[in-house]
Amino acid sequence: MPVHARLRATVLALMPSSQAGPPEIAGLPGRRLLVQRSDDEIVARPLDDAFVARAGASVRFPAPWPRTRGTREVAPDASLAVFAGVHAVRAVDPSGATRWEVRHGCWYGACREMHEAYDEYAARQDHRYPESGSVGFSADGRLVWAHVRGPSSEGEPNPDTADQWLVVDAENGRVLARADAEAAATGS
């Protein structure tokens, strides 16, 4: 059965393509956001149901590491951005303050270090292109799901776990549940 598509709206990007990745529309009807990520920040603009930008300024979240070093997600109400990186999952508010961080094993397979900060491996070529790990918010924005490399700084029951799924409280970063992904870091 063929499906016919029609143009509903045209939405302008928030940043030039030379400085940022492609813009994305995220969220459910009534809570849609236009989101775009550069190396330095994420910009999110609320959209109405006709995909028109809502009144008010865009929300900007300073990025803790370049966009080639992981993935990101913005909360449905644009109050928080979560970054999944090579060594940690970090929640950042629009002021740039870190709300919480869950550190985990390094996604570079040959590295067994528990990095404290991005600066420890920023110039290392072997840590340049992480292809694993991800984050996502629940529809109400209260939970964050994260695919991370074990072990985590939270001290899971089995330190030999290669990668795992975490359910994290978006408000305070407390790990509420974890499961061995048993995926050998094949991707999220």
Domain assignments of the chain as residue spans, ordered by start: 24-121+128-180
131: Cβ contacts below 8 Å, ≥ 6 apart: 107, 187
Does the pLDDT value for residue 176 go beyond 60?
yes
CATH of domain 24-121+128-180: 2.40.128
Measure CA 2 to chain center: 35
- Quick one: pLDDT at residue 186? 53
> What distances in angstroms separate CA 119 from CA 14, 115, 125, 130, one per listed residue?
28, 9, 13, 15
Mean pLDDT of 60-65: 94
Question: Mean pLDDT, the chain, as a whole number?
Answer: 85
pLDDT of res. 179: 84
The predicted structure's pLDDT at residue 73: 96
pTM: 0.86
